[in-house]
Structure 1
Amino acid sequence: MSINKIIARQAAYYAHDAQQWNNSPHALQFPHYASLLDLQLPKHNRYAICNLRGGIGKSTLTFNLAHGANDVLAVDTCPQGNSSSFFSSGGGVSGTTIYDALLPYLLPRMSFPSNIAQKVKTFNPYFDGLNVHFVPSSPNLYEFPSIMESALSQARGIPGVANIKAREQILNSMRDLLDRETKKVDTKKVLIDTSPFFSGATHLTWHAVDSLIVPVRTDQQSVNSLQLLIDILTDSGRSFLRSQDNLSLSSPKIQMVVVTHCGWSTRSGAKHEPNNQTKIYLEKVREIVATNIHLFTTNDPDNHIVPLDDFLGSGRISSAKSIPIKCLKPQQSFTISGQQVTVNASVEKCQKQLAFITKNIW
């Protein structure tokens, strides 16, 4: 399977206009510069950043896409709370967590909290002027799957059609919460950072969003986790479809696979061309996407795969200082753990890639 179009698109980021593109080695195969940069994806309001593996950049992507969206509600459903830390500039966050907000749907005697979403600009000055809110995570989310399963078990024991209503209320709880909170903060856009395990909040998230954005690192374990995610979406024997028996629930499509930690060839004349390892994993990802294209939002595999550079020093600075990649400038210096770290020129490439993702999802 050819990844030529995916590679050509990377080069197209850096062409200033169609005339410059005509001098590119990719122009013969892909002469239409503007169409190459338009993925022609349907624009949705609610996305989950999801992959059933940790350490591949879900929280970093959530943080940076939220900043690029300008107007969004971000929800952190991972008990590790990395994106919560980014939004709050590394400080502690008091108030209602996503765990607190979801619990009353599972335990009916509990009252619903009133103030949930918080303004990011209160904690992080890089979000000044943006209508970005977030709902923080909680370590209690580690316990949430067992609480949710207990609630579903009790609902199944209710006689007659009432058990259908009870189960739908539980499984649609994240959706109902988002309906309420987006009205309060005056936005339609939602980004949800998910955990590496499916049970619990991730399960509820899948019923609440329009589509998934799946980060996949350039290693075999991440590719395997992409296949696992697809298996859970399609296998009636697994919990996602099994729990929907006789219920009226929605299932997400996959909007985009973001291949993270990509490296680029240093060969002379190979400008903007992936190195061999990155090519191998781009090909593996494309094969999975093409095989399962019915799960995606269009029928063109090439339009669903977007490479993203290894952020290296810029990513370290962004994470340590809670600064969106978009706000970093080449040659800026920061002290991290007693070491001086400088933003290198490659940050501008990362900024173009993130802007491209943002443009094609909202």
Structure 2
Amino acid sequence: MKPIRKKKTKLANIKKIIDRQDEIVTGRISSLNLPKFKKYVICNLRGGIGKTTIAFNLSYLLNDVLVIDTCPQGNLSYFYDSQYFSNNRTTVKDLILPYILPGLGKPSRTAKKIGATNPFFQNKNAFYIPSTSELYLLPSQLSTAINQAKTLTGSQQEEALRNILYSLKYEIDRELEENNLQHVLIDTSPFFSGATHLSWHASDALIVPVRTDQQSINSLELLIDVLENPASEFRRNMPKDGVTPKIQLVILTHCTWSTRSGARNIPNQQTKVYLEKIRDIVSRNIQHFTTDDPDNHILLLDDFLGTGRISTALSKPVTLLQAGETMRINRVKTTVNQSVEKIKAQLQFIANSII
């Protein structure tokens, strides 16, 4: 009987989250009651979980937004401008380098209007700073600069470390002021060293996508350990006035739903298993979240399937897609199915819950 009771208790723990998903889709609830922040980093220490997809779609749903692409793969930059690698001479690395290699000039007004190269954003006051593959080299350059700063003593060492670790923060704040923008989204790579490290120092709060698989669950636990562990790369180099960002949302991505008759908007058993695991992790580490209620911080996002493939192929936000749209991708006919309306509601709810 004990295993049965344990299972019932777990299901009871996630019931509020499951019930809320139906309220989101049917429009009975518009947002979570969370503190709001200006600068968010979208991160997890694993690839292929939806970071860039979420960043791209949220950037359309927000206004007066600056988006920073710190992933050297540059997928988000490509969505904004398919020729970004040749159209942009100044990248996010150019913002950081003068703080690592003193003597270099600092750029100004680096952010590009997204609507200038992506027509779907023409009516949006949205800007971005592109990535570059040179960010693959940043971890070693950053490590060298930090080690050199540590050879200094007293206030000189502290000031040198602050300039390095707050380099992205300083440049983002300048870009916000120069372009009169209000919100920041930072897309990150799957590894912590380098630009992700600097992004954490530039952020107010984190948004953590977690895919419905065990590797993503492990990555969430690793991320929390990096936030907390005094021996982690983030904690051991923390400036005296440094602040550890808290987590605003954990978004369970690639969710699938029950096909049982009458089970409207109820996750299937596989999704429930991972939802239970995530809630347990959030509950045990609630000190790292922006409120003390685990249910406030977990949302579910559908597997985009054909909708996602078309959105990616066209660099078109999901919000603008309509059920029934079709196109051929790699000679295969792909269709936006009816679930797109559900996905739109989920994305809008996430946007409403962060601003």
Question: TM above 0.5, one fold?
Answer: yes
Q: What is the CA distance between 1:15 and its match in structure 2? A: 3.4
Q: Quick check: 1:101 aligned with 2:101? A: no
How far does the alpha carbon of each residue in 1:187-233 deviate from its partner, in whole angstroms, 9 at most, with x for none? 12000000100011111111111000000000000000000000000
Q: Quick check: 1:8 aligned with 2:2? A: no
How far apart, in 1, do the equivalents of 2:185 and 2:49 lie?
17
Q: For the Cα contact (< 8 Å) 1:53–1:196, is it kept in 2?
A: yes
Q: Quick check: 1:80 aligned with 2:73? A: yes
2:57 maps to amino acid: N
How far apart, in 2, do the equivalents of 1:300 and 1:133 lie?
34
Q: What is the CA distance between 1:91 and its match in structure 2? A: 5.5
Helix, strand or coil for the counterpart of 2:275?
helix
Q: Quick check: 1:251 aligned with 2:244? A: yes
The residue number in structure 2 matching 1:312 is: 305
2:203 maps to amino acid: V
How far does the alpha carbon of each residue in 1:153-178 deviate from its partner, in whole angstroms, 9 at most, with x for none? 11111233211101111011111011
Q: What is the CA distance between 1:109 and its match in structure 2? A: 1.0
Aligned ranges 1:197-208 → 2 under 5 Å:
197-208=191-202
The residue number in structure 1 matching 2:325 is: 332
The residue number in structure 2 matching 1:64 is: 57
The residue number in structure 2 matching 1:232 is: 226
Q: For the Cα contact (< 8 Å) 2:67–2:184, is it kept in 1?
A: yes
Q: Quick check: 1:188 aligned with 2:199? A: no
Q: What is the CA distance between 1:359 and its match in structure 2? A: 0.7
The residue number in structure 1 matching 2:259 is: 266
Q: For the Cα contact (< 8 Å) 1:218–1:260, is it kept in 2?
A: yes
How far does the alpha carbon of each residue in 1:73-108 deviate from its partner, in whole angstroms, 9 at most, with x for none? 000000011111111146544221101111111111
The residue number in structure 1 matching 2:290 is: 297
How far apart, in 2, do the equivalents of 1:347 and 1:91 lie?
29
Q: Quick check: 1:218 aligned with 2:212? A: yes
TM-score (norm. length: structure 1): 0.92
How far does the alpha carbon of each residue in 1:223-264 deviate from its partner, in whole angstroms, 9 at most, with x for none? 0000000000000011111011x6221220000000000000
Helix, strand or coil for the counterpart of 1:286?
helix
How far apart, in 1, do the equivalents of 2:129 and 2:314 lie?
20
The residue number in structure 1 matching 2:141 is: 147
Question: Pick from 102, 106, 128: which aligns with 1:112?
Answer: 106
How far apart, in 1, do the equivalents of 2:133 and 2:26 lie?
46
Q: What is the CA distance between 1:186 and its match in structure 2? A: 1.1
Q: What is the CA distance between 1:14 and its match in structure 2? A: 3.6
How far does the alpha carbon of each residue in 1:283-317 deviate from its partner, in whole angstroms, 9 at most, with x for none? 00000000000100001101100000000000011
2:237 maps to amino acid: S
2:298 maps to amino acid: I
How far apart, in 1, do the equivalents of 2:252 and 2:294 lie?
14
Unaligned runs of 5+ in 2: 1-9
Q: What is the CA distance between 1:340 and its match in structure 2? A: 2.5
1:57 maps to amino acid: G
How far apart, in 1, do the equivalents of 2:25 and 2:66 lie?
31
1:265 maps to amino acid: S
Unaligned runs of 5+ in 1: 17-32
How far apart, in 1, do the equivalents of 2:329 and 2:25 lie?
31
Cα root mean square deviation, aligned: 1.3
Q: Quick check: 1:177 aligned with 2:171? A: yes
The residue number in structure 1 matching 2:338 is: 345
Structure 1 residues 90 and 353: alpha-carbon distance in aligned structure 2, compared to 1, 3 A threshold: farther
Q: For the Cα contact (< 8 Å) 1:40–1:360, is it kept in 2?
A: yes
1:337 maps to amino acid: N
How far apart, in 2, do the equivalents of 1:182 and 1:91 lie?
21
Q: What is the CA distance between 1:339 and its match in structure 2? A: 2.7
Q: Quick check: 1:242 aligned with 2:236? A: yes
Q: For the Cα contact (< 8 Å) 2:77–2:84, is it kept in 1?
A: no
How far apart, in 1, do the equivalents of 2:83 and 2:21 lie?
33
Helix, strand or coil for the counterpart of 1:161?
helix
The residue number in structure 2 matching 1:25 is: none
Q: For the Cα contact (< 8 Å) 1:218–1:262, is it kept in 2?
A: yes
How far apart, in 2, do the equivalents of 1:250 and 1:217 lie?
28
